[in-house]
């Protein structure tokens, strides 16, 4: 079954053709980073306008790379939420139009479920059940995953998502956007023990997250150590971001494996844009080895927003006969 998948939940326009929910025939992503950089974050109105400009050429390219025509598509999957409402509506409206013209069945996909399912694009995906951590700019949540469509949320962020905290700290320090990759790179030459930033535990038995405290701690540190006329001393920026990243990763790793022990599961999946972070991947692997738990993390290209992961979920639902109708709407907040 060939699935055409469309992803427009935030600022990346994505289209992919996926065979039987596992084999990628094409996966095309158009990034808007250059558009939003000068604002230090995504501007929703600009994002939706850029999706309108990109959606036709990106879907066309995905079909061409897959070596097939639109008429050869067996089904269409599209992200319906959560995300930016305007952005979601662009992809959803386009998918409905294609479904109407071709007669192909289509289904709406939850963006969080797509991230959790990105691991099935890898050669050796995990078996169910597993603990799934989704960590990105907009989401930080822990789930028990017993199968496609079988999710139980164990915890979520109470304020900033981890990726959001990265972006805000990068903006504070004047490092640019997106903050995650920049901080990850700079931290390689910093001392992660230079500054002890706080780690929010929220209680012994809580699987929830909170990153506003560590973000505020960085703000307070910078205010308490005003840069002289010549700027921060050499290495200070690297030490700040390295210590900040260490604090965030500590919490993500601790909570994830705490959940695995609580649920008596030996498999963990880490997904979402922040899962491309070098330190997080390293620490997850180290902790998994120590606790004799298998950790699965998608390739970096499948961690960030892409349409192929939407195709995985779309295939699973369409093959079961689950369909959406033309009344399907976009939801900026769509629980899983």
CA 52 to chain centre: 22
- Residue 106 β-bridge partners: 76
The better pLDDT of the pair 119, 137 is held by: 119
How confident is residue 137, by pLDDT bands cut at 50, 70 and 90?
confident
Q: What is the DSSP string of 298-313?
A: --HHHHSS-SHHHHHH
Are 264 and 184 members of one domain? yes
Are 36 and 112 members of one domain? yes
Are the beta carbons of 166 and 40 closer than 8 angstroms? no
How confident is residue 228, by pLDDT bands cut at 50, 70 and 90?
low
How confident is residue 203, by pLDDT bands cut at 50, 70 and 90?
confident
Are 269 and 249 members of one domain? yes
CATH of the domain at 91: 3.30.420.40
State the sign of the Cα–Cα–Cα–Cα dihedral 100, 107, 120, 91: positive
User: What range defines the domain where residue 200 resides?
Assistant: 127-297
Residue range 282-313, pLDDT digits in tens: 999 999 999 999 999 999 999 999 999 999 99
Q: How far is CA 180 from CA 86, 89, 139, 140, in A?
A: 24, 27, 14, 14
Q: How far is CA 151 from CA 215, 254, 332, in A?
A: 30, 21, 19
How confident is residue 225, by pLDDT bands cut at 50, 70 and 90?
confident
The pLDDT assigned to 68 comes to 86
In a domain, 265, yes or no: yes
pLDDT of 233 > 70? The answer is no
The total number of residues written for the chain in this structure: 336
Are 65 and 199 members of one domain? no
In a domain, 65, yes or no: yes
How large a percentage of the chain has pLDDT more than 70?
Answer: 98
Are the beta carbons of 334 and 84 closer than 8 angstroms? no
In a domain, 235, yes or no: yes
In a domain, 249, yes or no: yes
C-alpha–C-alpha distance, residues 151 and 153, integer Å: 6
- Token pair listed for 235: 């290495």
Are 105 and 14 members of one domain? yes
How confident is residue 156, by pLDDT bands cut at 50, 70 and 90?
very high
Are 132 and 255 members of one domain? yes
Q: How far is CA 65 from CA 7, 27, 69, 154, 315, in A?
A: 17, 8, 10, 39, 19
Are 112 and 168 members of one domain? no
The pLDDT assigned to 226 comes to 72
Are 107 and 152 members of one domain? no
Q: What is the DSSP string of 145-158?
A: EEETTEEEEEEEBS
State the burial class of residue 150 (Cβ atoms within 10 Å of its Cβ: 0-12, 13-18, 19+). Answer: exposed
- Token pair listed for 15: 């289209």
The pLDDT assigned to 231 comes to 58
Looking at every residue in the chain, the average pLDDT score rounds to 95
In a domain, 329, yes or no: no
Residue range 67-110, pLDDT digits in tens: 988 999 999 999 999 999 999 999 999 999 999 999 999 999 99
Are the beta carbons of 5 and 63 closer than 8 angstroms? no
Domains in the chain: how many in total? 2
In a domain, 171, yes or no: yes
Are 132 and 189 members of one domain? yes
pLDDT of 20 > 70? The answer is yes
The pLDDT assigned to 232 comes to 67
């Amino acid at each position: 079954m060939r699935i055409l998948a469309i992803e427009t939940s935030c600022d990346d326009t994505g289209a992919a053709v996926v065979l039987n929910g596992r084999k990628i025939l094409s996966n095309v992503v158009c990034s808007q980073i250059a558009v939003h950089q000068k604002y230090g974050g995504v501007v929703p109105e600009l994002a939706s306008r850029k999706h309108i400009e990109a959606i036709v050429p990106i879907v066309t390219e995905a079909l061409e790379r897959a070596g097939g025509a639109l008429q050869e598509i067996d089904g269409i999957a599209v992200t319906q939420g959560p995300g930016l409402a305007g952005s979601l509506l662009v992809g959803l409206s386009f998918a409905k139009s294609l479904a109407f013209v071709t007669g192909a069945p289509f289904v709406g996909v939850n963006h969080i479920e797509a991230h959790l399912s990105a691991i099935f694009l890898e050669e050796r995906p995990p078996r169910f059940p597993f603990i799934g951590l989704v960590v990105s700019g907009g989401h930080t949540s822990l789930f028990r995953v017993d199968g496609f469509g079988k999710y139980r949320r164990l915890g979520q962020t109470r304020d900033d998502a981890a990726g959001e905290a990265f972006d805000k700290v990068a903006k504070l320090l004047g490092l640019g956007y997106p903050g995650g990759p920049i901080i990850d790179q700079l931290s390689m030459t910093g001392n992660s023990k230079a500054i002890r930033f706080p780690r929010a535990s929220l209680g012994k038995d809580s699987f929830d997250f909170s990153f506003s405290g560590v973000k505020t701690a960085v703000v307070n540190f910078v205010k308490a150590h005003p840069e002289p006329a010549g700027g921060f001393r050499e290495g200070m920026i690297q030490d700040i971001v390295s210590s900040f990243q260490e604090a965030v990763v500590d919490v993500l790793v601790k909570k994830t494996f705490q959940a695995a022990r609580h649920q008596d599961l030996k498999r963990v999946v880490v997904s979402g844009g922040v899962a491309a972070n070098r330190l997080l991947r390293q620490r997850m692997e180290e902790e998994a080895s120590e606790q004799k738990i298998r950790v699965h993390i998608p390739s970096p290209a499948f961690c960030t927003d892409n349409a192929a992961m939407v195709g995985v979920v779309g295939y699973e639902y369409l093959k079961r006969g689950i369909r959406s109708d033309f009344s399907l709407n976009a939801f900026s907040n769509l629980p899983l």
